[in-house]
Each structure stands twice: as C-alpha cells, then as structure tokens.
Amino acid sequence: MPLRVAIPDMVSPSYFPAIAAVELGFFKREGLDASIELLFPVTKTFEALRDGQIDFVGGARGVRALEQLVDGGHAAVAFSMFPVSVVDLMAVADAGEIMPPKSTWFEPKLADGMVSHVLD
C-alpha cells in the first residue's frame, strides 16, 4: 500500500524534512512506497483533517506522542516540523497570504477566558 505524505506547500522550510525523506529514498529503504501529496489550497488541508485522511499532533504533546502513534501501529510515519519563524510569519501576513493550518502553533499558550468589569 502506498504511503502519501501530505504537505500544504512546497516552499516552507518546515516541510523540508518530509520532502527530503521521500526524495532521498528514506522510505524506500524502509520498504515503504511513499510519495508527496500537495494539499492546497488551505481549505483542502482543513477538509483532509476533518475527514480523517491526515492527522495533526500539537506541539504541546511532544515527539513522544508521535512515537506512540507509529509504535502503536496507528500511523506509518510521523514528522516533527521546525517552527515557523516570526520573520516568515510576518512576510506571509505582509503579503496578505494565509498560513497553512497549524503552521502557527505557539507555545506557551496565553490564558484565555472572559473577564468582565463593572464600569460606573
């Protein structure tokens, strides 16, 4: 069965490890028939996540969570991507473009909630 490695763009340095692993034959050496599948536009990536075709493990869960998915047979492969730099984020925003889903994951998260204050 072929393995499809889904990525939302071909230019972000965050996805270079996945592309390189396929192109340099890493998967083939492990007996896996892998190919890169470009999931673009961003809405296509959202649909694939929603439909269970791909999965996302947030950074807070760490590399160990990825290892458990693969070791437990729930995934054939997992990637831990480099974070997006602030410079890259600002360049995309300045160009009026949209970042791929989950590419702007930041830790630690700010506390959220609702605060109300009576004003007289």
**Residue 108, pLDDT score:** 66
For residue 17, being part of any structural domain is answered with yes
DSSP string, 38-86: E--SHHHHHHHHHTTSS----GGGHHHHHHHHHHTTS-S----PPPPPH
Backbone φ and ψ for 5, nearest 5 degrees, come out as -95, 110
> 47: closest CA among 77, 6, 12?
6
What pLDDT shows up at residue 71? 92
What is the reported pLDDT for 84?
78
Q: How many domains does the chain contain in total?
A: 1
pTM: 0.48
Give the pLDDT confidence score for residue 72 in this predicted structure. Answer: 92
pLDDT of residue 101: 65
What's the pLDDT at 1? 56
Is 14 part of any domain? Answer: yes
Which DSSP letter does residue 21 get? H
Mean pLDDT by runs of 10 across the 120 residues of the chain is 74 78 88 84 82 79 87 83 81 87 67 71
Note whether residue 116 is domain-resident. no
Would you say 80 and 66 are in contact if contact means Cβ atoms under 8 Å apart? yes
Q: Which domain holds residue 73?
A: 3-94
